[in-house]
Structure 1
Amino acid sequence: MRHSSFRRASVLRAAAVGAVLALGATACGGDGGTSGGGSADGDLRVVLNSQPATLDPVVGARSDQYIWGTMVEPIIATGDDLEPAKDGVVTDWARADPTTWTFEVRPGLTFTNGEKADAEAVAASILLNRDGEKAILKSYLANVKSVTALDADTVEVKTGTPQYNIPNLLTNIYLMPPKYYAEQGTEGFTAHPVGTGAFVWKEQQPGRSVSVTANPDYWGEKTKLPGVTFTWSPDAAQRLALLRSKAADVVFDLPPAQAKEASDAGLDVQRVKSAMKIVGFLQSDKPPFDDPKLREAAVLAVDRDAIVASVLEGQATADAGLLNVKPDEQPAQAVKADPARAKSLVSGKVTIPLTYPAKKYTYIDEVAQAVGGQLEAAGFTVKYNPVDYGTLVGEVVGRKISGLYLFAGVPNVAAPDYFAHGFLTSDSITANCASPRFDKLADEALEKADPAAAQPLYDELNTAAVVEQHCYLPLYKQTFSYATDGVTGIRYTALNSVLFDRAETR
C-alpha cells in the first residue's frame, strides 16, 4: 500500500513537470535574452520562485530577505558556523550579569538616507520588533524589559529573567532607520527600503521586478556588481528555461528534476543542506488527535526515510526531531515508523483532515499525497485540504485548524529556542500541543548560562513533545538547489538567506 502511494505521487509529479515544460520560457519580468553574464547594464539577473509579499523586515517572512537583505543588514552577523559573529554592525558584546547585556556598535555608520546608524538606531530597531503591532518576532522578545543607548556606540539590553540567546536573536533583527520608518510605515518602507547594506534601492516595476544598485558608500567590502535585478516565477521549468536561454544569471529553488536537467546542460548547480524542515503538526485539542492513541498511530504510520528516497529523490535529509535546528543534527531520541503497530491502534472510521500549503515548497503536494497514502494504509480516512500559504498561516494562528497540517520550520536563528517558543509553548505560533510542562522546560532552558547547559532541557522537551506525546511529525530537512551561468561568489546559507555582495559575473 505504501509503495502504491509513492507511485501515485510520482505520477502526479511527472504530470506537473510535463505541464510546466510545455510553458517554455515565457516572460516573467526579466529583461530578455542578453547573452553572457549580467543584463545590458551589468546587473546580476536573479529569478526567485515567488514575488515578495513585503520588503519590510519587521513584518515580512524571512523568505523575502533575498531582496531586502541586499539593502538592510542584521544587527549581528552570522558566521559560517551559524553562530553570532562580531564582524557586522555589532562588533562585540558582553553579559554584565544574568539579565544585562551590552553591545558595541560599529562607529560611524549611516543609513543611505543620511540618518545615523548608531546605538540609538540599534535600540530603536530592537524595540520596533518587540512592540510593533504586526512584528513577526515580538513573541521572542517578550522577556526584553528595556533597551537603552548608553552612548553613541553602546546598547544595553535588560531582560526580565536570564536569557542566554539574546545575541542569537539579534542575528535575525535588522537595522532600521528609526525616523524614516516612523514617517513611512511598512508600506512606505516597502516602496523604498533604506538600510546600511552593500546595495541601495534603485526601482520597482510592480508585479514584475525589483532592482538594487551598488552602494558606493558601503562601510564594508564593496561589491563588484553594478546591481541586482530580481524577477520571479513559480514555475521551476520556466526558471530553468530563462537560465538556459541566457535571460537570467541565477535561478533559485530548483526541484531535483530541474536541478539534474541544469547539471546535464553544463550549468553550475549548487545544492545546500538547509536547516529548514518540513514538519507535520497534529492538533491535539480537537478531534481526532485529542486522542493520544490516534496521534501515536498517525506518527507511527509515516515512513520519512521512504518519502525522502521516493518522492524527494534523496534531495533532503530525513529528520526525526523538532529542536535539532542545524542541518546535520539529529535528536537524542526519535520515533521510528511502525506501520503494523499503527494499524493496530486504529479502530472504526477515523477521518484526518490533511492540510498543506499547495506548491509552496519543493514537491510539497506529492509529499502530502505520500503521507496521506501511508495514513490510509494504517486505516485512517484522509481528507486532503490543499490551501494557499497565507490561508494556512491564518488558520494556524487563528486556531481554526484541526487534524494534521504540514508546515515549514525555518530556524533563521540556529538555536533550539527558536522552535521551542515558535511551536511548542502555549503562546507559540502553532500552540497545537500546549502543555505547562513544555512552557516550564522552554523557560528553564533559556535561563541557563549558555547553549551547552541548556541542551539537556531541549532534549527532554523534544522527547516529551515528539516521542512521548506524538504531537509533531518531523519529516525532513530541505536540500535547496540553485543554478547559475557564469556567476561566482554567491553565498547561500543553511539558514535560508543568500548574500550577493561578493558575486561576480563572467
Structure 2
Amino acid sequence: MMIMKSLRSRRFLALAAALTVASAGLTGCGGSDSDNSGASGTGPIRALLAAQPATLDPIVGARSAQIVWATMLEPLINTGSDLAPTDTGLVTSWTRTDATTWTFKVRPDISFSNGEKADAAAVANTIMLTRDSAASQLKSYFGNVTAIEAPDATTVVVKTKTPQYDIPDLLTTVYLVPPKYYQEKGSEGFAAAPVGTGPYVWSGANAGRDISVKRNPDYWGTKATNEGVTFTWANEAAQRLALIQSKSVDVSFDLPPAQASAAKAAGVEVVSTETAMKIIAFLDSTKAPFDDPKLREAAALAIDRDAIVKGIFDGQAVADAGLLNVKPGQQPTQSVTADAAKAKELLGGATPTVQITYPAAQYTNIEEVSQAVGGSLEKAGFKVSYVPLDYGTLVKRIVGRQVPGLSIFAGVPNVAVPDYFVSGFMKTKSITGNCPDPQIDTLAQQALEQNDAQQAAPLYEQLNTIGVVQKHCYVPLYRQVFNYATGPGVSGVVFGPLNTVDFTKTTR
C-alpha cells in the first residue's frame, strides 16, 4: 500500500508541474488568467468537474450528474439540513390518507421555462415516467405504486399495492420534467437541452467541452445572485488542481487528498465534507466464481478497508463496514473484519479467477482502490483481471446483468432512508440484482410496511447482517470525504452530503 502511495505522489508531482505551466492555454476549461470574465466578477461561475456527465436526463441518468441538471430542474420535494423532506419545494405537503394512499399538494402557479404548466398533471407524469421507463434509474423504487392520479391542478394521489412509508422520501430525488417537451424530444433530445422549473435555464453546450446555464429571470423562488454557471471537466486530479491554482476556474470539484493538501499549502481555499456516498464492492452471487458462498466469504475477509483508507486516502475518507447505514456518522451493529489468513485458508490452495470492473476516472482514486482490492484478493490466492469502463457503460452492463465477479462503484443514498439501498441493491429486482434471496425480498417488504423508518430500523439491521455479514454479497469500503477548492474571492458554493450543489448564492 505504501509503495502505491509513493508512486502516486511522484506521478502527481510531475503532472501537476507540467499542467501548472500549461494551464494558461487551457481555454476549454474557462479561459486563462487574463480572461476578464474571471477577474472582473462578471460572467458565469466556472465550475470544473471530474468527469463529463453521461446524460442530463434525470429519468435515466445516474445521480452523479445532478450537480449539472439540478441547476435547471428541481426535485418534487426539497430536503432540509437533517436530510428529511421539507415543505419548501414544488410539493408543499403530503398526507397518508390510508395505509396505501398518499395525497400530495403541488405549489400553484409554477411554470417550466418553456411555458408549460408545472402542475399536478406534470408531477403525476414524471412519477409515471420514473416508474415505467425501461431505463429509469429509480424504476425499482416505484414497483409497488399501482396508480398515480391528478384530480385537480394542485393535487396528486399515489396509491400503492402494499403499505410503503417512504414515498415522500423517494420524491426528493425525482426531478420534475415537462410532459409535452419530454415526450416530443425523448430522453436523448431532452438531455441535449433540458427544460425545468429551476433557478437556471439551459444556455448551450460545446460537445465534449462544456455545458452552460444562465440565470432564470422568471424563477418562482429566490433568484440566483450570479449570471449563470459554465461546467467543464478534467479527468486528471492534477489538472483540476492546476486550473484552480491558475485561476482558470472558480471552483474545482473532487480533489483527492494529495491535491487537496497541495491546494491548501498553496493558499487555495479547500472545503472538505463527509458525504453520504460510499464506495462498495459488489460480488455477483449468480455467476462464477462468487456463486460459491465460501469464495465470497474469502473475498470479503481478504479486503482491508482500513488499509485502503490509510494507504490511499491518508485517512481522508471514513472506513465504513455497513451497507444500510445511509447517514454520515452511522455504523452497523454487525460487520466483517479483514482476516487475510482466514481468507487464504478458505481458498485451500485454489486459484479462482476474479474480474474486477470499475468506472475509470469516476471517483476519487478509484484506480488505486481497485488495484488495492485486487492486490488483497491476489494475496489470498485469487487470480485477478481488471476491466475499467466509463461510468455510463458500467451502469448499462450492471443493469443488464453483464458484470460477473466483483464490481466497484458508489452507492449514493440520494434519499436518506435505508430502503434506498435495499431496493437499489439488495432485492432480487434491484439495479444490481447481485444477491437474489427470497428472505431478503420478504424482509425488505416487511420494512416498507412499517409506519416509518424508525420502526423499520431493526429490520434494516437484519438485512444488513444478511447481505454483508452472512452472505458476503456486499463489501462496503469507505465513505467519501469530498474536497473542492474555490478561487480567490469566490464564496457561497453549498455542497450537501447527498451529492447536491447549490450555486445560487455563489459570487466572485
TM-score interval w.r.t. the shorter chain?
over 0.9
* 1:171 paired residue number: 172
1:168 partner SS: helix
Are 1:355 and 1:386, in contact at CA under 8 Å, matched by a contact in 2? yes
Are 1:255 and 1:362, in contact at CA under 8 Å, matched by a contact in 2? yes
* 2:145 paired residue number: 144
- Structure 1 CA distance, aligned partners of 2:398 and 2:323? 18
- Structure 1 CA distance, aligned partners of 2:180 and 2:311? 52
Mapping for residues 242-281 of structure 1, pairs under 5 Å: 242-281=243-282
Q: Which digits, 9 at most, give the CA deviation of each residue in 1:381-425, with x for residues without a partner?
A: 323333333343333222233222212111111111111111111
* 1:69 paired residue number: 70
| 1:23 to partner: Cα distance | 3.6
- Structure 2 CA distance, aligned partners of 1:125 and 1:38? 41
Residues 230, 246 of structure 1: alpha-carbon distance in 2 compared, 3 angstrom cutoff: same
- Structure 2 CA distance, aligned partners of 1:387 and 1:268? 33
Q: Which digits, 9 at most, give the CA deviation of each residue in 1:139-174, with x for residues without a partner?
A: 211111111112211111111110000001100111
Are 1:410 and 1:495, in contact at CA under 8 Å, matched by a contact in 2? yes
Mapping for residues 116-155 of structure 1, pairs under 5 Å: 116-155=117-156
Q: Which digits, 9 at most, give the CA deviation of each residue in 1:223-274, with x for residues without a partner?
A: 1101111111112211222211111111101011111111112111011111
| 1:39 to partner: Cα distance | 6.8
Q: Which digits, 9 at most, give the CA deviation of each residue in 1:17-46, with x for residues without a partner?
A: 245323442523423323685677421111
Residues 148, 176 of structure 1: alpha-carbon distance in 2 compared, 3 angstrom cutoff: same
1:88 partner SS: coil
Mapping for residues 384-403 of structure 1, pairs under 5 Å: 384-403=386-405
Farther-moved stretch of structure 1 (209-218 vs 68-77): 209-218
Q: Which digits, 9 at most, give the CA deviation of each residue in 1:438-463, with x for residues without a partner?
A: 11111111111110111111110110
Farther-moved stretch of structure 1 (107-116 vs 387-396): 387-396
| 1:335 to partner: Cα distance | 0.9
* Partner of residue 4 from structure 2, selected from 1, 6, 9: 9
Residues 186, 19 of structure 1: alpha-carbon distance in 2 compared, 3 angstrom cutoff: farther
* 1:83 paired residue number: 84
- Structure 2 CA distance, aligned partners of 1:191 and 1:447? 40
| 1:56 to partner: Cα distance | 1.4
1:477 partner SS: strand
* 1:307 paired residue number: 308
Mapping for residues 418-457 of structure 1, pairs under 5 Å: 418-457=420-459
| 1:277 to partner: Cα distance | 0.9
Residues 39, 212 of structure 1: alpha-carbon distance in 2 compared, 3 angstrom cutoff: farther
* 1:3 paired residue number: none
* 2:319 paired residue number: 318
Count residues in correspondence: 500
- Structure 2 CA distance, aligned partners of 1:244 and 1:408? 29
Are 1:38 and 1:249, in contact at CA under 8 Å, matched by a contact in 2? no
Q: Which digits, 9 at most, give the CA deviation of each residue in 1:125-144, with x for residues without a partner?
A: 11121122322212211111
Residues 390, 119 of structure 1: alpha-carbon distance in 2 compared, 3 angstrom cutoff: closer
- Structure 1 CA distance, aligned partners of 2:382 and 2:130? 43
1:503 has 2:506 as partner: yes
| 1:116 to partner: Cα distance | 1.2
| 1:104 to partner: Cα distance | 1.0
* 2:409 paired residue number: 407
Are 2:286 and 2:435, in contact at CA under 8 Å, matched by a contact in 1? yes
Are 1:210 and 1:231, in contact at CA under 8 Å, matched by a contact in 2? yes
- Structure 2 CA distance, aligned partners of 1:402 and 1:225? 47
- Structure 1 CA distance, aligned partners of 2:7 and 2:362? 16
1:463 partner SS: helix
Q: Which digits, 9 at most, give the CA deviation of each residue in 1:326-381, with x for residues without a partner?
A: 12111121111122222221212323222222222111111122222222222333
TM-score scaled by length of structure 1:
0.95
| 1:15 to partner: Cα distance | 4.6
1:357 has 2:359 as partner: yes
- Structure 1 CA distance, aligned partners of 2:136 and 2:318? 31
1:155 partner SS: strand
1:295 has 2:290 as partner: no
* 2:491 paired residue number: 488
Q: Which runs of 5+ in 1 are unaligned?
A: 1-5
| CA RMSD between the two structures | 1.7
Farther-moved stretch of structure 1 (299-308 vs 348-357): 348-357
* 1:231 paired residue number: 232
1:84 partner SS: coil
- Structure 1 CA distance, aligned partners of 2:340 and 2:418? 30
* 2:195 paired residue number: 194
1:311 partner SS: helix
- Structure 2 CA distance, aligned partners of 1:184 and 1:275? 34
Q: What is the one-letter code of the residue matched to 2:368? A: E
Residues 470, 290 of structure 1: alpha-carbon distance in 2 compared, 3 angstrom cutoff: same
Q: Which runs of 5+ in 2 are unaligned?
A: none
* 2:15 paired residue number: 20
Identity value in percent: 57
| 1:16 to partner: Cα distance | 3.7
Q: What is the one-letter code of the residue matched to 1:392? A: L
Q: What is the one-letter code of the residue matched to 2:283? A: L
1:487 partner SS: coil
Are 1:20 and 1:235, in contact at CA under 8 Å, matched by a contact in 2? no
Are 1:36 and 1:246, in contact at CA under 8 Å, matched by a contact in 2? no
1:488 partner SS: coil
Farther-moved stretch of structure 1 (19-28 vs 351-360): 19-28
Q: What is the one-letter code of the residue matched to 2:15? A: V
